[in-house]
Amino acid sequence: MRRFCLASALVFSVAAQPLAAQSLQCAPRERVLRVLADQAQSRNAIGLAGHVVMEMFVDPETTRWTITVTLPDGRMCVLANGSAFEALDEAFPAQGVPS
């Protein structure tokens, strides 16, 4: 499951990098982490996309989640957030022609 979440979040973070200067909500990392802690969200997954650190935070009680990226200059940006987080442990169906 962690690999699935991490892979999905990395896809979002890589796709969103060109938008970082245009529309992402960014602040110093410490400030964003305080907000997430106040919302009882803790880190559930982490990964690298080039020089950017992607993290996913989840509150299992309320099922709220947030995906962030931390830029090399120390700013942390919120890529997406929402509710109804559900951890899954499933493999994607096999691809290709059955043999």
**Residue spans per domain, the chain:** 2-17+25-82
Residues 6+ apart with CB under 8 A from 88: 1, 4
Q: Is the dihedral of CA 21, 23, 27, 28 positive or negative?
A: negative
Which CATH architecture describes the domain 2-17+25-82? Answer: 2-Layer Sandwich (3.30)
The number of residues in the chain equals 99
Residue 17: the pLDDT is 46
> Taking all residues of the chain, what is their mean pLDDT, rounded to a whole number?
82
Q: Token digits for 50?
A: 């080039």
- pLDDT band of 91, cuts 50, 70, 90: confident
Asked if the model's pLDDT at residue 24 lies above 60, the reply is yes
* Residue entry with tokens 């890589």: 14
Tens digits of per-residue pLDDT, 32-79? 999 999 999 999 999 999 999 999 999 999 999 999 999 999 999 999
What distance in Å separates the CA atoms of residue 6 and residue 34, rounded to the nearest whole number? 22
pTM over cut 0.75: no
